């Protein structure tokens, strides 16, 4: 899980097509640029096939989904599948409403995903078919701890096997798994939950990581998750050092991702392979 | 108007459902998280009833309204009323277009609001049935001053009586009133008008304050208005100290709200009860 | 190309109606406020005629266009033309999809623009009828350099003549031209390409510049382009000085625009007239 996967993004400058929510979209675009990728946001059904065709990855985020954009997600995703362009899913709030849960299953049925990233409640909903969420946050009963981690890895691998996608479950501890191998990542900081969009930004970054490293998507996804956790750690340290608040935290997080060099990455990345 | 109302938000972590505009939505989500609440943004008619049902408050902000979202506002609001969940209205730009004015009156007719927050032009439009706005800003003729404050308090109380809602009018001086009692709040800083979203952010915060303090909504609303004013003051002082600009001001404002402790609040809150 | 055009914005406080994308809209609103203008964002067809009628300029940005907003753009633009209110076009991604290219030509056919601002790929698409873009960024083949600048000025003037609009092409070197006269502006910094929205923010600023300086729109447009470049330079210098990252860069950029005083402007503005 080397820094090389990040370096590849800086070299290849992948174009990442995002069909995403209007809450965190600006941060997603800026963190992609910071990392070295190029973002494009386009959600009209009249152009998504064309836009995705010139892109290196497609990110589908259902954060503020509606009928119009769901149709665009399907159409863009089909074209991406046809052209073998990696598609990343962020099932924001799956479990919180029937629309979100049903849309997630519809997307999973009609499209093939390279990566599915969510919090533990969202991914449990995807795996078990139903679940609970506290809005767009994980239900406290679903938090990944050292005690339940074996179980989480096990359903992550099972879901990877069933869906063919890499599964990324993020929270206090992060899991990135395919059907055989799982990374357990212990980067990040609790303060990250005090800003909106850390999940969405990570999902967009995974688009860049997979778009630039299509032959090593599991490792590249894990590297992206590490990089996000490291950015959160550095940001939280700066916030505390300067006695700042959560808006500074968000700025420091994107700042750190935009200056993520090999030394910082290698000295901070904390993961096990299981 | 104690700090306790803010502490309750941090303890109860209310989920606040926002149907709001795409201009300031990210700041609304982040300031809610900073204060200790959880935001969820959802505007599709296929899910708003479900989302509001798991929420502790609903915020309706017409900043970038359209036919699709107006229908969702009505449906979410009816469900919230049915379940006795506080609903907060921000009639952004009422008076600036027929669509905004008519939508405001339609919402007032079909829904029961716990709080209506706007600038003086917007609230005058709600009370007198027509009015002027300079776009989404208050008309200069409507600014609250020490000279016209008696009159403003009087129509705020009358509107509270007529609508059953707490009325929050914000500007250089802020008024928070029900039919019998009015708070006159002198926190805030003129530089707050140089960033977009201070009104929207405050309205979202009032959702959190009312959701967590449903038995004391007048006092909790006044406390929220004070907290926003204090955040603006501290932010303006930092901006001037560091010779920064208005983007820093916005960051400092959210930073301050996210670190609002009892000592700062109590030492700064400036209000009279009339 | 005096600072006076900026001072006029601060004095007249023009209301700028933006029909724009949901990616960078918050930054557009904040930079307009920082400069001394007032933003209003409104895209429902039920209100755009009324809103534009009380405004001093209309900005049409197709960054996340869709059927609903395209219709609103046309209707708002016709009303603005009828009332002699300057209309500014940002053809984001023209050349990247048929929808964007076709919409650009439809807007050009149905409306009269005061200014068209884009990167070199977008403007080439407008001029030559087809073109390439890397998503929303200029194709590397289209970058303006000292070698091809004569050619760019020549097609900028030709397009200005053909369309009746001032043409602003921004990149490493910026061109602002009408059919007879061209400004070549050498402000700005390469790091500006690492944040989203510098183009969108500039387009919104040109709305303010033209709205407040309707008798000198060429000079006012050039002054706005200089001010944006200067803001980027100062921001990049601060980012490097403080070893910060790209999110800080965006903040410093808006900070600088919000504190743009005559001395800074006059000492930094770098341009030739051809």
- Per residue of chain A (274 residues), what is the pLDDT tens digit? 699 999 999 999 999 999 999 999 999 999 999 999 999 999 999 999 999 999 999 999 999 999 999 999 999 999 999 999 999 999 999 999 999 999 999 999 999 999 999 999 999 999 988 766 667 777 777 788 888 999 999 999 999 999 999 999 999 999 999 999 999 999 999 999 999 999 999 999 999 999 999 999 999 999 999 999 999 999 999 999 999 999 999 999 999 999 999 999 999 999 999 9
Query: Quick one: what percent of chain C has pLDDT higher than 90?
Result: 91
pLDDT at C15 over 80: yes
**3-state DSSP of B120-159:** HHHHHHHHHCCCCEECCEECHHHCCCCCCHHHHHHHHHHH
Q: What are the two backbone dihedrals, phi and then psi, of residue B64, each rounded to the nearest 5 degrees?
A: -130, 55
pLDDT at C124 over 80: yes
In chain C, residues with a C-beta closer than 8 Å to the C-beta of A257 are 245
Q: Å from A28 to nearest chain C CA?
A: 9
Measured distance CA(A106)–CA(A53) in Å, rounded? 22
Nearest to B26 among A24, A67, A245 (CB): A24
Whole-number pLDDT of residue A139: 76
Best C26, C35, C76, C227 member to test B by mutation, with max B CBs in 10 Å, is C26
pLDDT at C34 over 90: yes
Nearest to B30 among A65, A93, A246 (CB): A246
Whole-number pLDDT of residue C200: 98
Best C31, C125, C135, C249 member to test A by mutation, with max A CBs in 10 Å, is C135
Task: Check the CA dihedral C131-C136-C139-C143 and report its sign.
Answer: positive
Beta bridge partners of B10: none
CB A5 within 8 A of CB A219: yes
Measured distance CA(B13)–CA(B7) in Å, rounded? 10
User: Strand, coil or helix: what is C103?
Assistant: helix
Nearest to C245 among A25, A34, A47 (CB): A34
Looking only at the bridges linking them, the beta strands covering A87-90 and A115-118 are parallel
Whole-number pLDDT of residue B146: 86
Measured distance CA(C95)–CA(A35) in Å, rounded? 25
Query: Quick one: what percent of chain B has pLDDT higher than 90?
Result: 91
Please state the pTM of the whole predicted model. 0.97
Query: Which among C167, C168, C158 has a CA at the least distance from the CA of C198?
Result: C168
pLDDT band at B132 (very low <50, low <70, confident <90, very high): low
pLDDT at C134 over 70: no
Task: List CB contacts of A133: < 8 A, sequence separation 6 or more.
Answer: A93, A94, A95, A96, A119, A121, A122, A125, A139
DSSP secondary structure code for residue C142 in this structure: G
Whole-number pLDDT of residue C143: 83
Measured distance CA(C209)–CA(C60) in Å, rounded? 15
The arithmetic mean of pLDDT across residues B102-123, rounded, is 97
Q: Å from B33 to nearest chain C CA?
A: 19
pLDDT digits (tens, 9 = 90+) for C229-239: 999 999 999 99
Domain A4-273: homologous superfamily in CATH: Ribokinase (3.40.1190.20)
In chain B, residues with a C-beta closer than 8 Å to the C-beta of A97 are 42, 47, 50-51
The arithmetic mean of pLDDT across residues C238-242, rounded, is 96
pLDDT digits (tens, 9 = 90+) for B196-226: 999 999 999 999 999 999 999 999 999 999 9
ipTM, two decimals, is 0.96
């Amino acid at each position: 899980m080397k820094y090389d996967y990040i370096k590849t993004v800086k070299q290849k400058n992948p174009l990442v097509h995002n069909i995403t929510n209007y809450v965190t979209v600006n941060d997603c675009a800026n963190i992609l640029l910071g990392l070295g990728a190029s973002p494009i946001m386009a959600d009209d059904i009249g152009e998504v096939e064309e836009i995705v065709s010139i892109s290196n990855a497609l990110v589908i985020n259902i954060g503020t989904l509606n009928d119009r954009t769901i149709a665009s997600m399907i159409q863009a995703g089909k074209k991406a599948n046809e052209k073998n362009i990696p598609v990343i899913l962020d099932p924001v709030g799956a479990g919180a409403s029937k629309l979100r849960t049903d849309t997630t299953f519809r997307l999973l049925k009609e499209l093939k995903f390279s990566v599915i990233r969510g919090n533990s409640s969202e991914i449990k909903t995807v795996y078990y078919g139903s679940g609970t969420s506290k809005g767009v946050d994980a239900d406290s009963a679903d938090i990944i701890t050292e005690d339940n981690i074996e179980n989480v890895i096990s359903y992550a691998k099972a879901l990877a096997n069933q869906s063919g996608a890499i599964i990324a479950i993020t929270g206090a501890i992060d899991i990135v798994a395919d059907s055989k191998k799982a990374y357990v990542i212990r980067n990040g900081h609790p303060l990250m939950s005090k800003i909106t969009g850390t999940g969405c930004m990570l999902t967009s970054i995974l688009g860049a990581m997979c778009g630039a490293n299509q032959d090593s998507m599991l490792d590249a996804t894990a590297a992206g998750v590490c990089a996000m956790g490291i950015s959160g750690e550095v940001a939280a340290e700066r916030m505390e050092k300067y006695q700042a608040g959560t808006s500074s935290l968000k700025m420091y997080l994107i700042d750190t991702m935009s200056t993520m060099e090999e030394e910082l990455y290698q000295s901070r990345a904390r993961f096990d392979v299981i």
